[in-house]
Amino acid sequence: MTPITRLLSNDHDHCDQLFAAAENAVQARDWAHAEAAFAAFSQALARHFAAEEETLFPAFEARSGMSGGPTFVMRSEHLQMRELVAQMAAAVERRDDAGFLGASETLLMLMRQHNLKEEQILYPMTDRILAGEADLVEALRETLQAD
């Protein structure tokens, strides 16, 4: 696995773990834990989207000349996921486990499909096109780890 693919795929796994913890806490109706777990997940997901949208996608588009292709699709899916995360946040605030779990089921399906496209198509393309861009990988890493 090449640097961009490895870094961002590992971050997908991290976000997935945080998502599962939030979902498990809501299922248990442990609202204090659910709030904290969901906040950790939503913050990690926001950092992941920022790394892609502010660093990776612009570099890929500039180097490849493609702006209406895979990055356009990924940004559209990020928007859909943000809307579901907002629904889930509102459900946590209302202590609405059914509302949360309904939105989380949709989000899980969308994330699985999205991550598969990124890990099998987009990330390998970025690794080829942006090979040797150590500064880019470091910028991605910094964004993912920001607090």
Q: What is the pLDDT of residues 24-39, one digit of tens each?
A: 999 999 999 999 999 9
Question: In whole angstroms, what is the distance from residue 4 CA to residue 133 CA?
Answer: 10
Say whether pLDDT at 1 is over 60. no
> Domain-by-domain residue ranges, the chain?
3-145
Residue type, 125: M
Residue count of the chain: 147
Contact 23, 101 (CB under 8 A): yes
Please give the model's pTM, rounded to 2 decimal places.
0.94
Q: What is the pLDDT of residues 92-115, one digit of tens each?
A: 999 999 999 999 999 999 999 999
Contact 37, 22 (CB under 8 A): yes
Homologous superfamily in CATH for domain 3-145: nmb1532 protein domain like (1.20.120.520)
- 14 three-class SS: helix
